[in-house]
Amino acid sequence: MPYDGFVMRRFIDYARKRLIGSYIKNFYFQKNVIYIAFQDVDLKISLNPSYSYITFEKRNISNVVKHHFVDFLRSRVKGGRLKDIITFGFERTVKFVVEKVDEIGIAHEYEMYVDIMGKHSNMILVENGVILDAYRRVKNRFRNIYPGEIFVFYKSDKINPYNVSNIKNIEKLYLEVQGFSKITVRELIYRMQFLDFHKALKSILRDFEKGCLYVFYQNNVPIEISAFPLNHINAIKKKYCKELENAISDFFGFVERNNILKQLKKNLENIIVKNVVKIENTLEKINRELQEIKDYEHYRKYGELLKAYFYQIPIGTKEVELFDWENNENIIVPLDPNKDAIENASSYFKKYNKLKTKLKGLLNRKKYLEKELNYLYQLWYTLEEVDDLNEVEDIKSEMEDVGILKVRKRRKNNVKSEPIKVSFKNHSIYIGKNNKQNDELVRNSSDEDIWLHVSGMPGAHVIIKHAGREITNDVIEYAASLAAGYSKGKNSGKVLVDYTKAKNVRKVKGLKPGMVLYYNYRTIIVNPRRIDDV
């Protein structure tokens, strides 16, 4: 639990100095988030089940979103003065006490309880011990959180960390001590390598009392936030002591963006997979039909033989054995006994022409669907590779352009995603991260640039810029290894990569984004390679 009782207590103690005595200007709502606008600052209360927390953050809401509880807060608490902020040891519950005189002169003292407890996170408005309303109305065996019910504080038998005496099971400490999470227990056990239990615990509490927050990074990605140093974590540590909201924003900003990214990618992937399955099922049906009509030529043969021997065939015959002069053999021809030989021949020619037309249509349809399927696999691979929200938005936009997604009002995206650029032996090499970038690389390349792409599978377009210098074989091999590394074959031992001059690559009208035709190419076998920390 990143926003544990220590982090919450640290922020609330920090926020108390800025908020007590301030007037509440308004309340705003965004999905799972309630903003309380004070005179000089906005308090953000995230009640997201996956990552709940409290911090200062300037609201950025383009459209006013309605929510019954937020509307109720506006009607009752807006304009009130924050009298006090009360914590309960290191529990993840905080009480905001607000005093307000209503329109007819009656004084009220409201209590806004905020529980930061994952899927149980909630905000509850109470007056005189009675619940007025809540963000989440809940009735269960622990609490009834519903208008008109008596407010019951969330029961906890945990011990304040300052009052801990003897603990039987240190590894289960998070179940017995307020504020403790599993990672806090791991830190305590780490410190106990050098100190006894009580001294290790006191060292954590002394570090907490310094009033700072710490964010820990691995590969530029925040992995943990804490109110004291986590010495057992092998990570880069950033320390925040003056503006604690920056620490919380750095950590949870990434978590939120990553969550949105994953959800959007999953939604788009589901749509792509649905289309892939649909086309694969259609191709399977087409292949069955092709198998069924593969011998359609024998209907033409029947018709020709019946025309040649019609004078020998009496009406009423169900089948006849005729000599096939082309293959020098006798064959049995089935007949409709109600038709004469010429009428039977005419039926066979009609059937032959019908199946011939059907075969042509099926083959054309199959060719078209196979191209569509290749494009979808390319799109699917590209989606798997991207890890930036702007790039996912590019893919979403592309899916709308080609009709895979229904076009909705698009969010204006002012951030243009760029291809990966690397330098090798004074040559610039560009790697497309999506189909839009792939097309731009081809469109903006010079004739003598070298274009590379993995052979026969989805992957990135790679361009080596010529820039008036000879492109040697070792540069081509290096770029080919990147083309392999940024392809579906990235985990293979050896990968085939095609390469040619950019002038031999064509973007033909009608081809889907990222799809090209190329000729006069060579093929090289390489080991896949990727750029670290891209």
Domain membership flag for residue 483: yes
Beta sheet of 24-30, edge-to-edge order: 24-30, 33-38, 42-46, 53-56
61: pLDDT strictly greater than 80? no
Regarding whether 138 and 165 lie in a shared domain, the answer is no
The residues, any chain, with a CB within 8 Å of residue 522's CB and separated by 6 or more, are: 498, 499, 500
Per-residue pLDDT for 31 more than 90? Answer: no
Domain span holding position 221: 161-253
Cα 267 from chain centroid (whole Å): 7
CB 357 within 8 A of CB 364: no
pLDDT confidence of residue 75: 94
For the segment 9-30, the average pLDDT, to the nearest whole number, is 94
Taking alpha carbons only, the member of 485, 475, 466 closest to residue 424 is: 475
249 and 328 in one domain? no
Report the pLDDT averaged over residues 356-383: 93
Residue after which a domain boundary falls, among 373, 400, 429 = 373
Residues 364 and 320 in one domain: yes
pLDDT for residue 415 is more than 60: no
The CATH number of whichever domain residue 68 belongs to comes to: 2.30.310.10
469 pLDDT tier (thresholds 50, 70, 90): confident
pLDDT at 533: 33
* C-alpha–C-alpha distance, residues 358 and 293, integer Å: 9
Pair (135, 240) in one structural domain = no
Token output for 304: 């020709």
Q: Please report which confidence band the pLDDT of residue 534 belongs to, taking 50, 70 and 90 as the band edges.
A: very low
Euclidean distance between CA atoms 396 and 33, whole angstroms: 26
HEC per residue, 270-332: HHHHHHHHHHHHHHHHHHHHHHHCCCCHHHHHHHHHHHHHHHHCCCCCCEEEEEECCCCEEEE
φ, ψ dihedrals at 284, nearest 5°: -60, -40
Count the helix, strand and coil residues of the chain and give each as a percent rounded to the nearest 5. Answer: 40, 25, 35
**Can you give the pLDDT at residue 139?**
85
pLDDT digits (tens, 9 = 90+) for 234-258: 988 999 988 999 999 999 988 888 8
- For residue 137, the tally of other CB atoms under 10 A from its CB is 16
Q: What is the mean pLDDT of the chain?
A: 91
- 179 and 141 housed in the same domain: no
The neighbour count for residue 521, using CB atoms within 10 Å, is: 16
Q: How many domains does the chain fold into?
A: 4
- How does DSSP assign 37-76, residue by residue? EESS-EEEEE--SSS-EEEE-----SSPPP-HHHHHHHHH
Under the banding of pLDDT at 50, 70 and 90, the label for residue 299 is very high
- Minimal CA–CA distance to 205: which of 232, 180, 242, 236? 180
Average pLDDT over residues 178-182: 91
How far is Cα 28 from Cα 70, in angstroms, rounded to an integer? 7
Closest residue by Cα to residue 56 from 86, 26, 16: 16
Residues 74 and 99 in one domain: yes
Burial of residue 42 (CB within 10 Å: 0-12, 13-18, 19+) is: middle
Say yes or no to pLDDT of 329 above 80: yes
Number of helical H runs and strand E runs in the chain: 10, 24
* Domain assignment present for 218: yes
Give first-to-last CA distance, the chain, whole Å: 28
40 and 24 Cβ atoms separated by less than 8 Å: no
pLDDT of residue 412: 55
Tokens 């939120």 belong to which residue? 256
Please say if the pLDDT value at position 336 is more than 70. yes
Confidence of residue 413 (pLDDT cuts 50, 70, 90): low
**Where does a domain end: 87, 118, 145?**
145
- Tokens at residue 379, please? 């799109």
Question: pLDDT tens across 118-161, in order?
Answer: 889 999 999 999 999 999 998 877 788 999 999 988 777 889 99
- The yes-or-no verdict on residue 70 having pLDDT over 90 is yes
66-87 burial, b if ≥16 CB within 10 A, otherwise e?
eeebbebbeebbbebebbebeb
Specify whether the CB–CB gap between 53 and 248 falls below 8 A.
yes
Which carries the bigger pLDDT value, residue 318 or residue 64? 318
- Provide the pairing of β-strand 42-46 with 122-127: unpaired
Same domain, 125 and 25: yes
Sequence-ordered strand ranges (E) for 356-395: none
The answer to whether residue 170 sits within a structural domain is yes
pLDDT at 455 over 80: yes
> Region 40-46: what's the mean pLDDT?
94
Asked if residue 404 belongs to a domain, the reply is no
Residues 231 and 311 in one domain: no
User: Angle CA(501)–CA(503)–CA(505) in degrees, nearest 5?
Assistant: 85
Is residue 229 included in any domain, yes or no?
yes
Per-residue pLDDT, averaged over 89-105, amounts to 93
Mean pLDDT of 368-383: 92
- Residue 283 inside a domain? The answer is no
Shortest CA distance to 14 belongs to which of 43, 47, 51, 50?
Answer: 43
